[in-house]
Amino acid sequence: MPPIDLILNVAVGGILTGLVYGLMALGLSVIFGVIRVVNFAHGEMMTVAMFLAFSAFTAFGIDPLLSLIPIAALLFAFGYAMQAGLINDFVNKPEHTQFILLVAVAIILVNVLLMIFGPDARGVQTDYSFDSFEVGKLIIDATKAYAALAAVLVAVVLFAFFRFTLIGQAIRACADNYTGALVVGLDVKRLYALTFGIGAACVGAAGAVLVLITDVTPALGPSYTLQAFIIVIIGGLGSMPGALLGGVLIGLTEALAGLFFTPSAKSMFAVAALVLVLLLRPQGIMGKRQR
């Protein structure tokens, strides 16, 4: 049994990282909740954002906490274009057809990154990389704290957008009742494109700040995709607070599993948590029952 201080420190680190994962999963949740298309290129978009933040930092010295705004905007444009140009035609196609479409996109993204950046792990060293805050006996990494704070801020902006703006409400209307949205004259295709853009922007922001915490390689894409799925299903597909909660739970689970067992087995615990949730509460912790 490791000392209690260590456990607490690891737990806090896991929760903070989990908030960033939560923002990534929020993007997936928004996309699935509204468009009902599973974005199998989600983790790959995450690595694209991470490499963009890395490039901005190494080329121009821009801190990822700042570059997250232009990167989110870029990913928004990418997501909007992808939904408008490609996925809108596939919205009513069977799941496996959508799957292949997005797997093709994922393959292209991973390998374009591989061609540009090579297979090596890249990371960012800021001047506060080794700073930490001491709160009582807790030692909190500054990078993790800033990254988590940024993730929460972006999430709050998103909550507000969906709650209070007309477009946000229109998007929610599409999600609630597709036919109804068409009947009242909403431009569903454009709203879908906006939604995919917003989901992609979440991933963009999450990727930009995650580069502060961990290194990136092109090959990481699929495992981020899987992680986003796990988080979203645990939290409840379509539930925005659920995605953040799921992220925190997975971050915590992985951090503690790495401490108590071995770091290489940590993803096994995330998967086990997913299986448990699917069996005991398939709609997720905060999801609404749909059947």
Q: Write out the residues near another protein by the rule CB under 8 A.
A: 32, 38, 86, 89-90, 93-97, 99-101, 103-108, 110-115, 118-119, 218, 222, 226, 229-230, 233, 262, 264-265, 267-268, 271-272, 274-275, 278-279, 282, 291
Token pair recorded at residue 247 = 């992220």
Beta carbon of residue 43, minimum distance to another protein (angstroms, whole number): 10
Return the number of the residue (66 or 86) whose C-beta is nearest another protein.
Answer: 86
User: How far apart (Å, rounded) are the C-alpha atoms in residues 283 and 285?
Assistant: 7
Check: CB of residue 30 under 8 Å from CB of residue 23. Answer: no
Beta carbon of residue 226, minimum distance to another protein (angstroms, whole number): 6
**DSSP labels, 102-161:** HHHHHHHHHHHHHHHH-SS-B----TTTT-EEEETTEEEEHHHHHHHHHHHHHHHHHHHH
Beta carbon of residue 287, minimum distance to another protein (angstroms, whole number): 11
Return the number of the residue (45 or 148) whose C-beta is nearest another protein.
Answer: 45
Give the CA radius of gyration of the chain.
19
Query: β-pairing, 132-135 with 138-141?
Result: antiparallel
Token pair recorded at residue 207 = 């990727």
Return the number of the residue (6 or 275) whose C-beta is nearest another protein.
Answer: 275
User: How far apart (Å, rounded) are the C-alpha atoms in residues 55 and 255?
Assistant: 28
User: How far apart (Å, rounded) are the C-alpha atoms in residues 211 and 281?
Assistant: 33
Return the number of the residue (39 or 195) whose C-beta is nearest another protein.
Answer: 39
268 φ, ψ (degrees, to nearest 5): -60, -35
User: How far apart (Å, rounded) are the C-alpha atoms in residues 198 and 219?
Assistant: 24
Beta carbon of residue 112, minimum distance to another protein (angstroms, whole number): 6
Return the number of the residue (153 or 219) whose C-beta is nearest another protein.
Answer: 219
Return the number of the residue (24 or 38) whose C-beta is nearest another protein.
Answer: 38
Beta carbon of residue 189, minimum distance to another protein (angstroms, whole number): 17
Beta carbon of residue 30, minimum distance to another protein (angstroms, whole number): 15
| Residue 94 Ramachandran class (φ > 0 left, ψ -120 to 50 alpha, else beta) | beta
Return the number of the residue (73 or 81) whose C-beta is nearest another protein.
Answer: 81
CA distances from 136 to 9, 15, 83, 132, 259 (A): 11, 18, 48, 12, 21
Beta carbon of residue 265, minimum distance to another protein (angstroms, whole number): 6
Looking at the DSSP bridge assignments, the partners of residue 141 are: 132
